[in-house]
Amino acid sequence: MSIPIVDPARYEQQLEAKRERIGQQFERFAAPELEVFPSPPSHYRQRCEFRVWHEGDDLFYAMFEVDPDDPKQKRVIRLDDYPVASRRINELMPRLREALLGSDVLRRRLFQVEFLTTLSGEALVTLIYHRPLDAAWEEEARRLQQRLDILIIGRSRKQRLVLERDHVWERLEVEGRTLHYQQVENSFTQPNAEISRDMLAWARDATRGSQDRDLVELYCGNGNFTVALAENFRRVLATEISRTSVASAQQNLAANDIGNAVVGRMSAEEFSAALKGEKGGRRVTEMALGEYDFSTVLVDPPRAGLDEDSCRQLSEYPRIVYISCNPDTLERNLEALSRTHRLARFALFDQFPWTHHCECGVLLERIPD
């Protein structure tokens, strides 16, 4: 990997380069004007993980960078701070390191630290070890948790010690409304909270006007979009394969008093088969698919994008909202989807400044016969 070099004075320049690249890549789809959502130029990641490097009596946070002179070799890069990470993470990094240096119990065979923070400053720190964790570790860790005002989880092989709780609560202000999200340790959440807020506002705006019809959402994760979009529709049916994410999504629906959305544990492929009547069983029966009138599908797939069958299924909906973390697979999928739908809106979300990665959002509307 290459460690991002943060230079706020150059932020507009790097964002413009992404704008030009995405505009050129999708020009042949007659895309509308690109809506660009900039990130804060620094301190934008609410979660980060670092290796812990031990040298004699010293230890420090580290990442690894491929040696350009020998791609098979990786160089250890010491990090005393990390401008990519949230201000809360940067505030905690030296304080945690100092505490670890002063405790043989906490530092011994510690090899990784993971931070999960929120915009309000809540912080969960996971300490990962190459040794079993005992009562002495727990006693020291509880003192550290109180001293730093954080939540701590200890991990080692076949061990997971949660000292208080395994999640934080993020609060995002979106269009004048506060949305509450449980974010669980070691499960996927949007790392850039400010951009996540922009994505939710954009998706809400793109899906207005369907209060009398329903939304189906694939790859819903912890219900990030489900929570934000529910009031735009009569009902929402969301699906997700991860058991942890489904449980978190259900918590988030309850925390936001949303009563018109249901989350089912099912893969996108299984759901497609259920819609065709090719898959039955209790879970499918409980979904009561015949009671829905879907006007819109929202899909937020992994980097691999959608397969041909999934694209074919999506093409049957009047309106498609596609959130993509990989423009290359989005481009490939649009080759298929643009046969039946036109691009009505196109957005670039700079989720990961100072890297080549781009997050995109497209609204596709069915072409009249």
Q: Provide the annotated active-site residues.
A: 325, 359
Classified as helix, coil or strand, 361 is: strand
CA 244/CA 242 separation, integer angstroms? 5
**Which residues, other chains included, contact 246 with Cβ-Cβ below 8 Å and sequence gap of 6+?**
240, 263, 264, 265
Q: Which segments are annotated as binding site for S-adenosyl-L-methionine?
A: 190, 219, 224, 240, 300
Classified as helix, coil or strand, 338 is: coil
**Which residues, other chains included, contact 222 with Cβ-Cβ below 8 Å and sequence gap of 6+?**
181, 182, 183, 184, 187, 188, 189, 245, 248, 249, 252
Phi and psi, residue 47, nearest 5°: -140, 140
Q: What is the 3-state secondary structure (H, E, C) of 333-363?
A: HHHHHCCCEEEEEEEEECCCCCCCCCEEEEE
Phi and psi, residue 45, nearest 5°: -90, 125
∠ CA 116-119-124 to the nearest 5 degrees? 25
Tell me the residue type at 315: S
Q: Which tokens belong to 302? A: 């992994």
Residue 33 CB burial class (10 angstroms; 0-12, 13-18, ≥19): exposed
Q: Which tokens belong to 349? A: 């979300």
CA 215/CA 179 separation, integer angstroms? 19
CA 334/CA 320 separation, integer angstroms? 11
Q: Within 10 A of 263 (CB to CB), how many other CB atoms are there?
A: 24
Tell me the residue type at 252: N
